[in-house]
């Protein structure tokens, strides 16, 4: 039998070796077959993304991208409830309040990772099973393939906390059909299941219970090309019958969304909604009324400009906006009202759209000199 000290050494050695598959690690990184697999592993926090996870994922993607034996990258979440419910907002709030570097470092690292996913040379497959919001969207939407399930719940709810739909939202949202992206960005509307595919956010739809089999089949592919991977995903997709008959949740409202949300300013959108007066329009007014007026104006401009920019330029712009939010009032107030005190009654400053000047908004978009995000 091993002496106690030796036994401890053996255990420590074992822990070192199993670091990447250690069930307590926040993110698991492993190679199986020809696939690099990233597993977000904070189920209690709905796999929310923090800085240390980003700092592990980014170099691993870069390594796999260069590795001739890695043919694809798969990203997924644990716990069955969420792929990734967003960024670790509370940590950022605490840091921002005291001027801690994390408020800069987090966004810089996160957007750099979003860009690495958007430019990844290896096929990147995100299994967006469960809640996929904010930062979780950034980990998936810029990749080649996004597989939604009946459990997928997508939203960009940032305007409700005094932020804006970042992580490249300014790139992918205005590129969705019609004005869906503007609608999703401003109202934080939630899409479920197959609707995530119909909106153009997911590329495939597969039943949640079929994901382990799909993953095994992806891993078993021998030196696959992007086409081989697409074929495999398609073969699962065509067999998925859940909610196949249902029409897209926004179908009946698309005409209104496209006309009402194509206005040039938030004031004009509000005016058009009031003039429309339909139950749908009134509901949108109620929703927009709860959002940070500063966030709404910032977001509308972000999407209008992002529509014709590269992903890199969008992320650079969004980094400027993130730092403007860290300097401002509404982000801290929104996080307090929605996530901390949960009284759901944020007191926005300014409280009305009219009081958010164009000069103030323009200021949020100004370059940060040496502090700009460089991609």
Question: What are the residue numbers of the active site?
Answer: 87, 135, 158, 166
Spatial strand order in the sheet of 72-77? 27-32, 35-40, 72-77, 124-128, 145-148, 204-205
The CA-based diameter of the chain, rounded to the nearest angstrom, is 83
Q: Could you tell me if 40 and 53 are in contact, meaning their C-beta atoms sit under 8 angstroms apart?
A: yes
71 touches 123 (CB < 8 A): yes
> What is the Cα–Cα distance from 310 to 5, expressed in whole angstroms?
57
For residues 304 and 301, give the distance between their C-alpha atoms in angstroms, rounded to a whole number: 5
What is the enclosing helix (H) or strand (E) of 84?
Answer: strand 82-84
- The rounded distance, in Å, linking the Cα atoms of 27 and 185 is 28
Distance (Å, whole) CA 50 – CA 140: 16
- The answer for residues whose C-beta is within 8 angstroms of residue 308's C-beta and 6 or more apart is none
Written as one string, the DSSP assignment of 144-200 is SEEEE-TT-EEE--GGGGT----TTHHHHGGGSSTTHHHHHHHH---EETHHHHHTT
Tell me the sheet residues that pair with 37. 30, 74
Residue pair 174/87 in contact by the 8 Å Cβ criterion? no
| Cα distance between residue 91 and residue 326, in whole Å | 12
């Amino acid at each position: 039998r091993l002496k106690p000290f030796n036994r401890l050494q053996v255990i420590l050695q074992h822990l070192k070796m199993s670091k990447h598959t250690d069930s307590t690690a926040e993110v698991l990184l492993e190679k199986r077959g020809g696939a690099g697999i990233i597993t977000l592993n904070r189920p209690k926090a709905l796999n929310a993304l923090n800085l240390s996870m980003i700092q592990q994922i980014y170099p691993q993607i870069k390594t796999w991208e260069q590795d001739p034996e890695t043919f694809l990258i798969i990203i997924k979440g644990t716990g069955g409830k969420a792929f990734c419910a967003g960024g670790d907002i509370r940590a950022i709030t605490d840091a921002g309040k005291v001027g801690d570097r994390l408020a800069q470092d987090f966004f810089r690292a996160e957007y750099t990772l979003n860009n690495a996913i958007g430019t990844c040379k290896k096929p990147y497959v995100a299994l967006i099973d469960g809640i996929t919001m904010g930062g979780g969207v950034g980990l998936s939407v810029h990749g080649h393939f996004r597989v939604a399930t009946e459990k997928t719940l997508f939203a960009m709810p940032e305007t409700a906390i005094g932020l804006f739909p970042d992580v490249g939202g300014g790139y992918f949202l205005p590129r969705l059909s019609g004005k869906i992206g503007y609608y999703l960005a401003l109202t934080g509307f939630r899409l479920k299941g197959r609707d995530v595919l119909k909106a153009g956010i997911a590329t495939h739809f597969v039943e949640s219970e079929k994901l382990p089999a799909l993953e095994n089949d992806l891993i078993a592919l021998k030196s696959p090309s992007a086409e081989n991977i697409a074929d495999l995903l398609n073969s699962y997709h065509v067999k998925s019958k859940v909610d196949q008959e249902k029409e897209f949740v926004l179908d009946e409202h698309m005409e209104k969304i496209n006309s009402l949300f194509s206005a040039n300013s938030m004031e004009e959108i509000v005016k058009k909604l009031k003039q429309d007066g339909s139950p749908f329009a009134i509901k949108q007014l109620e929703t927009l009324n709860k959002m940070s007026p500063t966030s709404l104006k910032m977001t509308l401009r972000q999407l209008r400009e992002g529509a014709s920019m590269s992903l890199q330029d969008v992320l650079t712009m969004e980094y400027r906006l993130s730092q403007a939010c860290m300097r401002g009032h509404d982000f801290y107030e929104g996080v307090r009202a929605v996530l901390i005190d949960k009284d759901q009654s944020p007191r926005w400053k300014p409280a009305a759209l009219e009081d958010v000047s164009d000069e103030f908004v323009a200021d949020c978009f100004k370059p940060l000199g040496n502090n700009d995000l460089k991609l």
